[in-house]
């Protein structure tokens, strides 16, 4: 075991981080960087300058036909970039699952690499090693859907409006730009105070670019149902608020022949239908009203998709291996509420979720228990003792972290699967006793006689089913958990303003976590309505580990920072970790075809296409 000298704990974290970074030779000067076709967070991008398509796209994909997606919930806005309506915006405008149908960015991501970007609206990019500035040169062919060219002025306007009126993560991110300036006719340079946040230049490359002549800055932060003008491959064709949105291909799409778009966005029409619950959505898929159905519930995958079209081969059930971390799905403790302010209470309550019983009883033993925030990847701290680099980063706080978290042996509590494991119940009661609670009759109470009680907010039947299972375990030791079911719109509003005690949430992660972690776990986001810091985390250690992640210049330093961050979050017990699937499940009607290869992130639906007339044989589908 490596011992950290006590004196190290007095060294500012910035100094420790600096010690991890390579120093430039004395007298060295940095050469002016040359324009390149792509950039990566660490190292060089994998694709050469003359690549002709993305690895998971098929150049031979047919154009035409239609696809209908189904989602659960509602929508009342077409502006996802602001707080008002930001979480109730129609899907598809710029979407992680369905693609960038309307809004595009200067660069676009290759989803087969951890974090690499290639030219889209910008034909080239320049960035020095220090990353204290980045410069984009626009493609002269770039056009918005109304035919007007994309200009440097549009780019600067987009960043300014998001900085001033966008969602909290936009405002915080772009406030760190100290200068935006036009360079020549088609280039724009962004200058930062320093290069400490090495991810920031890449995030600018992924920011949506707006047609400035179509936006009134005075009303940008208000929800709207007016179809926006973008530069993407589709136009908003139909809007039925809360029920349906339809996108139709722009025949004059400017980027259709670019390598970054070859084999993508193949359907003439993309529809997204909204359903009030998962059962209704599943029935719509069975009737052919929805074209594809991603499934995360094992019960639905095993029993819900047994119907004649599957037996006849008209519907295909497919499994995709993932190359990304599992992420975190769990019950979130809102630490803004006094009942969850004590970490000892959170740790004791987290012990009571009986994964073994839930997985066997509800999910056919198909889920894997989640422990940390980066499971199933090299970024996870589970099973790995903290390295010297990690210990250096954690030095000011390491004595506050549980020993088993630091040495990598911590795991979520494992029950016997009976649904009432007495050993676990006794351990939870002991943990609550240390926090000042005791059972009085059949009720767990604080020293002042206040019952230990809280509310779990849910919006779907699946969430309610999980909450009921947890409620049952809590009741066994006298903890009262009321379950409040609300409609989708109210659910999103209450989450957005942190008006809940406990809520379910899923935080997906990639192999290159970065600035998004600030808005999930950073102290500055804890009181920002619309942020994703649902737990209300205010921990200097978490903030410092995020800074270390963003400052890392090589893979070893980055991995150490992420693992240290994982240990900090696990130690804080902000979430009752639930479970994850080791793969992704998707059912599709055979009228929808896909490439043989998928990305490390899973299937990319923007790379799928329609069979000829919907009559192509199943054997022809990859």
pLDDT band at residue 84 using 50, 70 and 90 as cut-offs: confident
Q: Which of 160, 185, 219 is the last residue of a domain?
A: 219
Residue 168's domain is classified under what CATH number? 3.40.190.10
Domain shared by 597 and 537, yes or no = no
Range(s) of the domain holding residue 498: 328-580
pLDDT digits (tens, 9 = 90+) for 323-376: 999 999 999 999 999 999 999 999 999 999 999 999 999 999 999 999 999 999
Tokens 């120093």 sit on residue: 23
Domain tally, the chain? 3
For residues 452 and 316, state if they share a domain: no
Residue 229 maps to a domain: no
Q: Are residues 440 and 512 in the same domain?
A: yes
Q: What is the pLDDT of residues 418-474, one digit of tens each?
A: 989 999 999 999 999 999 999 999 999 999 999 999 999 999 999 999 999 999 999
Q: Is residue 524 part of a domain?
A: yes
Are the beta carbons of 263 and 607 closer than 8 angstroms? yes
Q: Is residue 359 included in any domain, yes or no?
A: yes
**pTM to 2 decimals?**
0.82
Burial of 593 (0-12, 13-18, 19+ CB in 10 A): buried
> Measured at the alpha carbon of residue 141, what is the angle toward residues 136 and 143, in degrees to the nearest 5?
90
Integer Cα distance of 491 and 52 in angstroms: 44
Indicate whether 99 and 200 sit together in one domain: yes
pLDDT recorded at residue 362: 92
Per-residue model confidence (pLDDT) at position 1? 37
Would 484 be classed as within a structural domain?
yes
Let me know how long the chain is.
Answer: 622
433 and 358 in one domain? yes
The whole-angstrom separation of Cα 296 and Cα 116 is: 28
pLDDT at residue 419, rounded to an integer: 87
538 & 407 share domain: yes
**CATH number of the domain enclosing 538:** 3.10.105.10
Judge if 498 and 587 occupy the same domain.
no
Residue in 554, 396, 521, 568 with CA at minimum distance from that of residue 16? 396
Pull the structure tokens for residue 356: 């073994």
Exposed e or buried b per residue across 382-402, where buried means at least 16 C-beta atoms within 10 angstroms of its C-beta:
bebebbebbbbbbbbbbeebe
Residue 30's pLDDT is: 53
d(CA 518, CA 546): 7
Output the CA torsion sign for 537, 540, 543, 549.
negative
338 belongs to a structural domain? yes
Q: Is the confidence at residue 9, as pLDDT, over 60?
A: no
How sure is the predictor about 88, in pLDDT bands with cuts at 50, 70 and 90? Answer: confident
Question: For residue 352, is it within any domain?
Answer: yes
What pairs with residue 134 in β-bridges? 190
> Which of 18-22, 283-287, 302-306, 485-489 tops mean pLDDT?
283-287
Let me know whether 343 and 294 are in one domain: no
Tell me which of 185, 219, 253 is where a domain ends.
219
Mean pLDDT of 220-239: 97
- Is pLDDT above 70 for 219? yes
**Cβ atoms within 10 A of the Cβ of 216, count?**
8
In a domain, 65, yes or no: no
Q: Are residues 277 and 138 in the same domain?
A: no
CA angle at 124 for the pair 121 and 128, rounded to the nearest 5°: 125
* In-domain check, residue 427: yes
What proportion of the chain, given as a percentage, has pLDDT over 90? Answer: 88
Please indicate, yes or no, whether residues 273 and 361 belong to a single structural domain of this protein.
Answer: no
Taking the C-alpha atoms of residue 267 and residue 589, their distance in angstroms, rounded to an integer, is 15
Instruction: Examine the pLDDT at 622 and tell me if it is beyond 50.
Output: no
């Amino acid at each position: 075991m490596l011992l950290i000298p006590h004196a190290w704990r007095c060294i500012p974290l910035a100094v420790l981080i600096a010690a991890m970074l390579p120093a430039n030779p004395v007298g060295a000067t940095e050469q002016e960087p040359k324009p390149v076709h792509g950039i990566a967070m660490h190292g060089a991008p994998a694709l050469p300058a003359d690549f002709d398509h993305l690895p998971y796209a098929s150049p031979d994909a047919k154009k035409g036909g239609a696809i209908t997606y189904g989602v659960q919930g509602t929508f009342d806005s077409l502006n996802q970039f602001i707080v008002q309506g930001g979480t109730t915006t129609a899907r598809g405008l710029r979407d992680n699952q369905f693609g960038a149908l309307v809004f595009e960015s200067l660069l676009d991501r290759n989803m087969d690499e951890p974090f690499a970007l290639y030219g889209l609206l910008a034909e080239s990019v320049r960035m020095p090693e220090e990353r204290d500035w980045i410069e984009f040169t626009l493609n002269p062919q770039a056009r918005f859907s109304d035919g007007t060219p994309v200009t440097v002025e549009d780019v600067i306007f987009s960043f300014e409006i998001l900085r001033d009126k966008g969602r909290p993560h936009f405002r915080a991110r772009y406030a760190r730009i100290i200068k935006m300036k036009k360079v020549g006719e088609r280039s724009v340079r962004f200058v930062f105070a320093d290069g400490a946040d090495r991810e920031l230049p890449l995030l600018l490359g992924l920011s949506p670019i707006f047609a400035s002549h179509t936006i009134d800055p005075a009303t940008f932060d208000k929800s709207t149902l007016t179809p926006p003008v973008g530069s993407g491959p589709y136009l908003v064709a139909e809007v039925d608020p809360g029920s349906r949105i339809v996108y139709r291909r722009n025949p004059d799409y400017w980027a259709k022949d670019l390598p970054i778009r070859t084999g993508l966005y193949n359907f003439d029409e993309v529809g997204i239908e909204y359903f009030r619950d998962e059962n209704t959505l599943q029935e719509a898929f069975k009737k052919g009203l929805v074209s594809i159905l991603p499934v995360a519930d094992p019960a639905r995958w095993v029993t819900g998709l047994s119907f004649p079209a599957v037996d006849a081969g008209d519907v295909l059930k497919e499994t995709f291996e993932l190359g990304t971390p599992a992420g975190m799905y769990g019950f979130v403790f809102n630490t803004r509420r006094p009942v969850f302010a004590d970490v000892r209470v959170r740790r004791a309550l987290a012990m009571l979720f009986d994964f073994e019983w839930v997985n066997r009883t509800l999910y056919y033993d198909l889920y894997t228990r989640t422990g940390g925030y980066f499971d199933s990847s090299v970024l996870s701290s589970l099973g790995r003792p903290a390295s010297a680099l990690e210990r250096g980063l954690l030095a000011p706080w390491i004595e506050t972290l549980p020993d088993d978290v630091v040495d990598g042996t911590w795991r979520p509590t494992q029950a016997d699967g009976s649904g009432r494991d007495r050993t676990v119940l006794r351990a939870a009661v002991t943990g609550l006793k240390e926090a000042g609670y005791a059972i009085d009759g059949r009720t767990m109470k604080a020293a002042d006689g206040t019952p230990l009680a809280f509310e779990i907010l849910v919006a779907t039947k699946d969430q309610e089913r999980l909450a009921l299972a947890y409620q049952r375990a809590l009741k066994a030791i006298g903890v009262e958990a009321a379950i409040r079911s609300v409609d989708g719109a109210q659910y999103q509003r209450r989450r957005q303003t942190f008006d809940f005690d406990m809520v379910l949430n899923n935080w997906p992660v990639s192999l290159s976590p970065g600035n998004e972690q600030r808005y999930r776990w950073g102290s500055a986001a804890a009181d920002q309505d619309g942020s994703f810091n649902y737990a209300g985390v205010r921990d200097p250690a978490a903030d410092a580990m995020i800074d270390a992640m963003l400052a890392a210049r090589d893979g070893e330093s980055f991995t150490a920072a992420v693992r240290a961050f994982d240990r900090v979050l696990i130690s804080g017990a902000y979430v009752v970790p639930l479970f994850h699937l080791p793969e992704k499940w998707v059912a599709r009607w055979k009228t929808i075809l896909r490439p043989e290869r998928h990305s490390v992130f899973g299937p990319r639906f923007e790379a799928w296409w329609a069979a000829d007339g919907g009559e192509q044989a199943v054997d022809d589908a990859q």
